[in-house]
Each structure stands twice: as C-alpha cells, then as structure tokens.
Homo-oligomer: A and B are copies of this chain.
Amino acid sequence: MSVTKPTVNKTAEIDAGKDRRAELLAAAAEVFVAKGFHDAKVSDVVTAAGVAQGTFYLYFKTKADVLLQLVNDCCLDIIGALAACSQVKADCRDPKQLRESNVAFLIDLFNLLENKHQAVKVVLSGQTGVDTAIDRALAELKSVLVEISKANLEAGMASGIIRKLDSTIVAEAVVGMIYHIAFERFVLGRRLGVSIRQLAEELVDFELDGIAAE
C-alpha cells in the first residue's frame, strides 16, 4: 500500500512518524523518571504526549519496548561519544597531561549526560528486571565504561605513569564513583555547589592522588 504512494508523501509520513515516535519517547522518559517504570501507565505516557491510547502501539510493541528503545538509544549515544573522547587519553606521557585528559573526558561525559537529560535519568535510575534486552544494554554501557577505565589504567601502568594496582577493582571503583556522582547530579539534581568543571577536577584529583596528604 505504501509502495504506491509518491515519495514525497512517504517522506512526510516517515517524518510525521519520527516526530510522533520522538514525542512519545520524550513523554515516556519524562513519565518514567517521575513515577518509575512500573508505576507509570501507558495512559500517563499518551496523555503527556497528547495522543490517543492506541497510537502508542503504532510505534512501540509493548510498554517495555519503549523503555528498551529509550535505553538503547541513550546507551548507544553515550557509548559512541565515549569511544570518541576516550582515545585522547590513551597515549599521554606526563602527569599533567594525564590529569588534563582525564578532566576533559569527565567534562565531556557530564555535558553529554546533562544534554540527554530525561533519557539519561532513565538510564541512570537503573530500571532493572523489566526486560533482559534492557538489562543487557545497561550492563553493556557500564561494561564499556569499565573497559575504557581498565584499558587506560593498564596503559598507564605500562608507561609507568600509573602505579601498580588491580586494574579490575580500581576500574570498577572509578566507574561506581562516576555513576554515583552522575546520579546525584543528573537524576536527583544535587549539584553539590560546584560547576561541571570543578566537579571533574575534584574527582580527577581524588582519582589520581587519593586523599592522603603529601
């Protein structure tokens, strides 16, 4: 049926479809963050999006499906961005450069999270157990972060710029730290009285030098 339609219409339709889909996705993110996935009703989402109940099912197979797409889209974006900005760090030699590249990385990450806003909140609030595909996507994102961290630690150890340590444990620790801080700031909205840059610098200082004096 759609095959016989002129291209112009087809494009218009697709665009309209994309808009609708995007609207629903945005509305869903908003509602899921506000009430949590389980307490959010499909009717809440369609009300927020200003469409009818049935329209939801033109774009998503099930209620879980919209969460999956939300998480997938967001995770893929973040993973993509991480891949881009994490390569800078890999070959730094001196401590100052290490500090700077780490700070730059965190600032990039935090800005990314800040812009994604609602979708990020959904990802960070860790809606687990809804669907194995979602669990996989969330695990994948965390795993990518851990891998980046671990790879950097090992490269640094090889080049002598980082002390000998258990890269697995420390990578997990670093990622846990970042997730927690990101959750506080981007989901709960607790800015802790600092800008993104200040936050990144403080965290990198902690990561590199620890808390001990000297």
Contacts and interface: CB of A to CB of B under 8 A. Distances in A.
A96 to B, nearest CB: 11
A165 B192 CA distance: 14
Interface in A155-214: 156, 160-163, 165-166, 168-170, 172-181, 183-184, 192-194, 199, 202-203, 205-214
Contact of A180 (B128, B176, B202, B213): B176
Nearest to A184: B172
Contacts of A209: 163, 209-210, 212
A194 B165 CA distance: 13
Q: State the copy count for this chain.
A: 4
Residues of A in contact with B, size category:
35 or more
B176 A181 contact: yes
A17 interface: no
A50 interface: no
A202 B166 contact: yes
Ranked 4 nearest A-B pairs via Cβ: A176-B180, A210-B210, A36-B129, A38-B38
Interface of A: 35-36, 38-39, 95, 98, 125-126, 128-129, 153, 156, 160-163, 165-166, 168-170, 172-181, 183-184, 192-194, 199, 202-203, 205-214
